[in-house]
Structure 1
Amino acid sequence: MSQLSKTEQVLREMKQYNIDLLALNEIRWKDVGQETLDHGYVLLYSGEDNHHQAGVGLMKSPAAYRTMLKWTPINERILFARLATTHTKLSVIVCYAPTNEADDDVKDGFYETLQPVTKDIPKHDILCVVGYLNAKVGADRKYYPEVLGPHGLGQINENGALLVDFVLSNDLVVGGTLFQHKNVHKYTWKSPDGSMRNQIDHFVIARRWRTSLLDVRWYRGVTTNRVTCS
C-alpha cells in the first residue's frame, strides 16, 4: 500500500470514529513538514533525511489544528505538539521506540532524547506520551502499582522495564493498563500468521490528569487505537 493510500485510509477512520488527534508511527516519510489533506485535516510529520524508515506523525482534525500553539519535530522517533484546550494546555509527545531486540545503546539513546523533551513541558499541562513504544509492561503490577493498573497483559520485557522507569521518573501512568476490556481489545500488535499477540502500543498520561482519561482500547479491523478523554 502506498503512503498516499495509507494516509487516505487513516483519514477515513478518523472521520468514522470522530477522532481529533491521531498519532502515527513508522510513516516512512522523509524530512520534516506539514501537509494539508482533504477536508482541512493536517498531518505533521518528522522523518529521516535519507531513508524511508521509522518516522512519526500527528494528524489533526480542522478543529484540533486551530488549537495548535506549537509543534517540534525532534527526530525520526519523537515529535512534540502543544495545543490549547478549554481548561489548560495539552502537550502530546508521539513516539516510535526501538524494538526490544535493538542494541542497548539505541534503546538508551531513545529515552535519553525523550527525557529532556518531557522535562521541558510546563507542569500544569496535560502531558500525554503516545505511540509504538515496543514495550510489554505485563500484567503483574505489584512492584509498580503507582504507574500500572490491573489490566495489563503478559510478562514485562526489557523495553517494558525501560518504559516503567521513564513513567516512574516523570510521574506518569500507563493508560492501557487502567481499563477492563476483553483481551482482544487490549492487544495492539499481532504476528502476520496471527499466532502471537502483544500489547506494545501505549498511551501514557500525567498522573495528576489520570481522571481525565476515560478509556483506552483497540478496535479490531482498523489501523487506529482509540483513546477517550474528558
Structure 2
Amino acid sequence: MGCHIEEYPDYIFCCIGETKGLYGVGFLIKKAWKSNITNFTGISERVALLQLKFEKLNISIIQAYAPTERSSEAEIQNFDADLKKAHTMADENVLVLGDFNAKIGRKKIGESFIKGNYGVGQRNERGERLIDYAFEYRLAIINTYLKKRPIRKWTWESPDKTVKNAIDYIMTNDPKIIKNYEVLNNVKFLTYHRLLRATLLLNQTKKCRINYKKLPSIPKTDDEIKYHVDMLKQDIEGKQGDLTNVQSYYDMLQEAII
C-alpha cells in the first residue's frame, strides 16, 4: 500500500499502510477543508501526521496505533521514535489521537496538568508509558476531563463482550481549543473499538493558563544563587523513594525546586 492520498467527491483520504489486514493509519477529511491541508506525512504504519492551517489556528494532528502488550520491546521503541519524529515536524498546536493499547486509570498525585478527574479503571504498564509520554509533550488527555456516563467511557470491548476498557485517547497541548469529547455508540464497524469524537474551536488560539502556577522570585545575586543551588542539592540528596520511575522522579524534582 505505502503512502496514499485519494480524492473522492466529498472526502479526501490520506493513509499509510503496508501490511494488509494489519496496522495502517490515516485521515478522512471533508472536501470542504481541502484548501486548509498544508501537509500529510505517513511516518510509519503506526504513526501519521496531518497539518492544517486555518485563519487563526495552525494545527498538527498525529494519528497513532500503538503496539499491544504482546509486542516486542523493539516494536515499542520504534513506535516511540515515530511519535517523536512526528512531534519534531508538528506545529505549535498539536492534537494526538488513536489506539494506544493502554489503560491509564484514575488521576494520581502530580498528574493534574495532564489528566482530569474522570479517568476509569486500573493503570497498566502501557498506561504508565502513555502518562510519561503525555508529560514529555505536555499533552492533556481529553478523555479524562469531561464527565460522561459509564457507557460513554469505554472504547474497546473484548470479543466475548465480557471486558470493556478505555484504551483509545484524544490528547492536546492546548485543551482550551476542545469544546466537547464523546464516544460514539451508534456507529457500527467490524471492530472491537468504538469511535471517538472531539469538537474543536478553530478561532481559539490563546493558550490555557489555568494549570500554570505562579513561580517564586528568581534569585539575582551570586550569593542568592549559590544559596539556592546548595539547598536544592541537599534537598534532592535527602529524598527517598523509587527514583527509577519517571513520574516519581519528576514529582521529587518539582517538590524540591518549589
Normalized against structure 2, the TM-score is what?
0.72
> For 1:143-185, what per-residue CA distance to the aligned partner results, in whole angstroms no more than 9, with x for missing partners?
4221111111101111111111111011111111111001111
> For 1:180-205, what per-residue CA distance to the aligned partner results, in whole angstroms no more than 9, with x for missing partners?
00111111111122110011110010
Q: Would you say 1:228 and 2:199 are equivalent positions?
A: yes
Match of 1:212 in 2: 177
Q: 1:82 aligns with which of 45, 51, 54?
A: 51
The 5-angstrom pairing of residues 47-86 of structure 1 reads 47-48=17-18, 51-86=20-55
Match of 2:109 in 1: 142
What do you get for the CA RMSD once the two structures are aligned? 1.5
Shift of 1:116: 2.5
State the secondary structure of the residue aligned to 1:75. coil
Match of 1:129 in 2: 96
CA distance in 2, matches of 1:70, 1:140: 35
Match of 2:4 in 1: 33
Q: Would you say 1:96 and 2:65 are equivalent positions?
A: yes
Question: In the alignment, residue 197 of structure 2 is paired with which amino acid?
Answer: R
Structure number, greater radius of gyration = 2
> For 1:42-66, what per-residue CA distance to the aligned partner results, in whole angstroms no more than 9, with x for missing partners?
1101001x54420001000012222
Q: Would you say 1:44 and 2:14 are equivalent positions?
A: yes
Question: In the alignment, residue 76 of structure 1 is paired with which amino acid?
Answer: E
Name whichever structure is richer in strand by fraction: 1
CA distance in 2, matches of 1:180, 1:135: 20
Match of 1:23 in 2: none
Unmatched 5+ residue regions in structure 1?
1-29
> For 1:12-41, what per-residue CA distance to the aligned partner results, in whole angstroms no more than 9, with x for missing partners?
xxxxxxxxxxxxxxxxxx22101123x320
> For 1:44-99, what per-residue CA distance to the aligned partner results, in whole angstroms no more than 9, with x for missing partners?
01001x54420001000012222100111101001111111221201011110001
Match of 1:107 in 2: 76
Match of 2:219 in 1: none
State the secondary structure of the residue aligned to 2:43. strand
Shift of 1:141: 2.8
CA distance in 1, matches of 2:70, 2:109: 26
Q: Identify which of structures 1 and 2 has the higher relative contact order when contacts are C-alpha pairs closer than 8 Å and 6+ apart.
A: 1
CA distance in 2, matches of 1:45, 1:93: 12
Unmatched 5+ residue regions in structure 2?
188-193, 202-258
Change (3 A) 1:66 1:224: farther
Normalized against structure 1, the TM-score is what?
0.80
Q: 2:154 aligns with which of 184, 187, 190?
A: 187
CA distance in 1, matches of 2:116, 2:88: 24
Question: In the alignment, residue 139 of structure 2 is paired with which amino acid?
Answer: L
State the secondary structure of the residue aligned to 1:87. coil
Match of 1:14 in 2: none
Stretches of 4+ aligned residues off by more than 6 angstroms: none
